[in-house]
Amino acid sequence: MTRKIKILALLLMVPMIFGSCKIKVPQMTKFGSLSVASTKNVDLDAEYVLIARNAGFDASQALAVNKKEVKAFQNATKKIRKRQTRKRVSNRTRKKIRANYYRLAGATIDQAINNVVEETAGGMFMENVELYYTGTGRKTMYIVSGDVYGKEGVSRNIRGFIVGTKALYKKRVGTVATLTDDQYCLWKDDRTGKFTEVLYDDLTKIGE
């Protein structure tokens, strides 16, 4: 009896083990763009500055996680390159990217825009917004990316880095895409579009 229980427990664990290896995000489809978008009451007479460039989540990040959807994502945006596949991104980085998707996706377009603006300290509105949806019917979710503008001096800053900071990593030029925590950030290679989780100490800000 004990042996049967052990075998049954092992069989139940197998799908859980293999299931945990599937680090993916839902396939994204671009369906539009907006010049300006906000869910806040914006004072048009106030002065705003660019706080975060290419904030939010776009198809290039999804491609870094989803190897099989390369062709679909290539049709969605010109920024995607064939060389960016799942094999070139570590599991830890892929998990961070997937977590970003689920944090920023919204049940409505307004919610998706608000999620990006709210996560950017001082953010008020977005420009150059790209709109995506995932799923169909009741399971449809929305995700956006774009440039966030807000009040100067209040953007989230960790060790002198903010989202959008240009920085060198291993002599390659890239951009800080996400401030993960007080030690790590997601850095995007400007040439290949590859995302890498790196220590702030390993980055050198360009222009300083």
**Domains of the chain, residue spans:** 26-38+46-205
Q: Where are the beta strands (DSSP E) in 57-205?
A: 123-134, 141-150, 166-169, 172-178, 184-189, 195-199, 204-205
What pLDDT, in 10s, does the model give residues 24-65? 778 888 999 999 998 888 887 888 888 877 888 887 777 777
User: Residue 200 has what DSSP assignment?
Assistant: G
CA distance linking residue 120 with residue 126, whole number of Å:
11
What pTM was estimated for this model as a whole?
0.60
Closest CA to 120 of 148, 145, 160, 88: 148
- β-bridge partners, 23: none
pLDDT at 80: 45
pLDDT at 6: 38
